[in-house]
Every structure is written in structure tokens, then in C-alpha cells.
Structure 1
Amino acid sequence: MATVKRRSFNQVKEEISFRVLRQKIPEAWVIHEYGPDYGIDCVVELFDYVDEAKEVAETLGEHFYVQLKASDSVHYTTRRAYSRGNVAKGTLSENKAEYIDIAVANFQLDVSDLLTVELLGPAVPVLLILVDIQTERAFFVCLNDYLEKIILPEDPSFFEKSSKQLQIPIQNEILPRDVNLVPLRAYGKRAKMYGAFTRFAFQKKEIERTRGLANFNPTTSAEDDLEMLRVFTESALRQEVWRGHDFWEPMQWSLNELEDVRQNLAAGIEHQDLDHFKQYCEEYVWHRLCNLSSMYEELVREWFLPTVLAQLASYPEVGKLHTGES
């Protein structure tokens, strides 16, 4: 017997989740929906207005991918997170005498979705955005970072399971305010950050060659060395990581140092001062540029996760470390 068209509750929830996400992010940002769901529901492309009247917006060339989920029965609870060693350097080691209780929203995610994220690698940020359709609140967590910083250290055999419970800090609420959008903008810039880190590492190695410190050191003239430093400086400054970098103060420090190198080159470097200038560039300016990648991996990628370090770094005004046995 023929029936009229029907809609499932899952379809209704999906429409609500997209509507809520659209309301929470800037109107200039674009949501590109994907077709059949293979682990990614949409990609958000970041735009900024270029005029005061806000009539024209241009793309920033920045994106983050989204696994969008909706629930009418979100389970809110508390996660007790303990101080721990750096899980990127060794196995999980927790100090049960130091902890923070973190308000979280639980969500059960298919392991197949986590494996898809793992295949994409850390430079392609995939955010799990959970929409509570009862309250129309939306919370985010970066799956790439959650997988490497929490799931793998705590449950190395997670891939043998069908699903895995994730705990999203409710402080990670998406709200249409500039301060609440800083994390999303930072994730959108991630691919550019990794590209810049690679560029800086290459440049530092080449500066080392001019100082005779590499395994292969071709003979170059003073004019060649100065020209290379000019090219490297302008190339580093053209990287699209300096605009909108306010989410991380060390970026401003390195930007100031690059501007200092540019000014010194423009003023002219005497040949007798060249060796000292190359040493300054290699051991200080480019060393700090390269160290950005280490700090990014160790610190920035843990931001906004349900961990002690993330709470103290992301929400220092509310992250209170308790001491004494739990």
C-alpha cells in the first residue's frame, strides 16, 4: 500500500543541528555541506568583512571540518582530570594528588569516525560539534587532538571497539561573540601553521649552511648570504599566520623579531658584522620560529580538551587545581 512521504526523527535532528550551527557562527562564514556521510558532515570556510559597512566579505583561505551531531538527551556530568606527564613523550602517568573537576557533555562516537580523523592527520582539524536540541546549545572539541592526547594514552586498543565515549567541556560552547569564536579561528588557521613551521625549519637549516654548521656547506659570498636572508625574511613575513594570531602570544614575539631582521637588512649589514648577524638570525630568530612548532604540538594542541593543562591554559579564570588525594 502506498504511503505519503515521511521524515525520520534523525532527519529532523540533523536539520536542527545545521540551523543551530548557522546561528552560532558569523554570518560571513560559509558552511559547505557534504553529501553522503562518510565521517565528515560539512566544512566551514572562514570569511571576514573587508568594509566597515559589512557588505563585502573575502575568504581567509581557512577551514575546519565538522562532524555535526545532535541529541535530545545530552548527558551532562563531571570528569575528574588529573595532572599528568606529557603523553606525547611517554605513556600515561597521572598524579592523583592534583586534579580539576570539569563539567562535560558525554557523547558516544563511532570508532570508524575516529579512524577517519586519524587518517586525515593533525593538520586537518575535525571538530565534533554537539548540539543539544532541547536547549539549542552547541559544544565543540577537536577530534584530532582528543584522539592523540586523551583516547590513545587512556585506551590504546580503542580501535577494537565499535564506539567510544567522548567528554566535551561545556565551557567549549559556541556563541556568536568574538571571544567565543577565537578557538574556531585558531583551528581554521591550523593548516597554515603547519605549512609555516615547515618553511621555518627549511630556512633555519639553510642559514646554518652559510655558517658552515650543516653536513654539506657550499661556499657562498656575503652578497649571496644577505640576499638569502632578505628572501627568507620576506617569505616568512608573507606566511598567513601573522594575521589574526592573537590567540597565541608567542606569534607576536616572533613577528616582532622578523620585523627587526627586515629593518636591519634594510639599513645595511657591514661585511665585518655579517657573521654575527647570521648567528643572531640562526640561533635566536629562526630558532624561536622553529620552536613554535614544538610549543604548538605540546601546548596548543591540548587547548580546549578535558585535561588539567587545557583547563589552566584555555580557561585560567575558572580552572582551579585541587591538591590532595581525590
Structure 2
Amino acid sequence: MATDIQQLHHITAIVGNPNEVLTFYRDILGLRLVKKTLNYDDPYTYHLYFGNYDADPGTIITFFPWENKKMGELGDGQVATTIYAIPENSIDFWAKRLTDKGVDFVRGSRFDQETLLIKDFHNLNIELVEKNWGKANTYAVDDITPETAIQGFAGAIIYSHRPANTLHFFEDVLNWPVVDEDAVYTRLQAPGDHKEWIDIRKTPGTFGTMAIGTVHHIAFQVDDEDTLVYWLDIAQKEGYKASDIKNRDYFKSLYFRERGGLLIELATKAPGFTWNESLENLGTELFYPAKHQAIIEVVKKKLTPLDF
């Protein structure tokens, strides 16, 4: 049993109108809608998954569209920015594409790497950075090609209420080494092939409010359920209050909150997104957890129709 945590699995955020999510992530950023399902705890809310063409772990961003809800506040205990890897020499393409689509962005840099910082339609921070992710994304939208398409996660910026504790979690529990730091951030790097970055802000602020425009949790990949059991024991020994192991249909997972306030999920890489839908047809059919079967016809009538 391989117990190391090598990479990100997915990031889940709370948003508003689901069709605005489709417009931004599918039609502008060029990500593929790979699964259309319902929230396990709230069947009247979609759970939408976007990623690369193959729906690989490490490319998946998921959303709970909470319509007619208030906006959240960014703060400690949250992923502040989701960072995407774009191919080398593609940042000017993305600057032009965003301009043509009417999306504002800010050019910046961190650790001597040029960045494009965007806010989506629900105030989530999305950043693009050139990074060799190792696998091209073949999903095509407009003039996006494998030479320019978003490949997967380059990492995330974390706001922590106790930065030293969050650093301990990544460095000493996950064994992700520190590779750089400046006056604002400490950067750690995943040991896996994609070498995602976690940039932890050094100065605490105030806790954020979880609602529209905030990240709900960040998930890291483990091999299988036996590995989840192994990490559940570690989480408990570290004093983190952990959930039991949950079946999420496309992976099994457990949750705990590290001491800086960040909600962590560990998720298995199997069975993946193609066990109930072919690769070619991903994202075309509405699936739902079995526990919603008794009310599914009522739920369908109340869901916002999605634009296709």
C-alpha cells in the first residue's frame, strides 16, 4: 500500500447560478463538464464537475451552485486562489482570450513567475500560470488547442488562521517540502509528477464566511480505501476531528479540518468518472446519489435547466 500523498485530487467551491458557471468554466476557460450530479446532502443543488478531456484527478474543479444565497467572504481557513497550469508560452494567448471575452484580469508575478489573476462570475479567484504539467488537455473550445488549453491544477494559495500549524500539516504530515518563500508566502511542493504548489500566506487575518464565492474544501488523492484508513488513523493521532469514510460514487473520501481552519478531503483515485458514463459522453446525463431516488422526480422539476 502506497501511503504517500502525491497530488491534488479536486477543489470544490460554492457558486451561484449554474449556467453562469457553465459559461465561465466551459465556454471561457475551456474546461470540460465531466459530471453532472446532485449534492449528497442537498438534493435540490447541483454538483457540477469540470476538468480535462480525460477527467483526470488533479484537473477537477467542482461546484455547489447555491442560488439566491448571500455572498461569502474570503478569509482564513480557505483556499484563497485556485491556480491552473497553462502550457509554456501560452500566457499571451490567455491574456488576449480573456480580453476578447470581456473578462478582466491582473498581470502579476509570484516567485518570479508571471501570473494572470481572474475573478469568475461569483468572485472566486482563479490564477493562470505557465507550468509544465506533463500532459496536454485535448478538450477543444473555440481556438483553444492542446498547446494552449488549461492542463490541470498548478496549486493553490491558502489563507490560514494559524499559518505555522498549516505549514506543519503540509510539511510534516503530508511531507511536502518547502521549496521557496518570500515576505508574504511560504511555498511547498507536491512530490508527485505534477508538483503542485501550496502557497501559505504567512500572516493570519480573520476567518472567512463560507457562501457564494468561496472554496468549500481542497482534496488530495490517495490510492485506495485502505490508504484512507491509514490516513484516518494519522488524522486522529494529530488531533484532527475526522469524518468517517464516505462513498461519493466516483471516489471514497474522508474529511478533517487542520488547525489553520482549512477543510481537507482525502479522495481515492478510483472508481473515477467513467464507471457510469463513457469517456465520450461525460457530463451529458444527470446522475444522482442512490439515496435521492425516492424524490428524484420532484427534484428534477425544481432544478434550473442547464444550457447546452
Into which bin does the TM-score normalised by the smaller protein fall? Answer: under 0.3
Which structure's CA Rg is the greater one? 1
Report which structure shows greater RCO (CA 8 Å, sep ≥6): 2
Q: Where is the strand percentage greater, Structure 1 or Structure 2?
A: 2
- TM-score when normalising by structure 1: 0.23
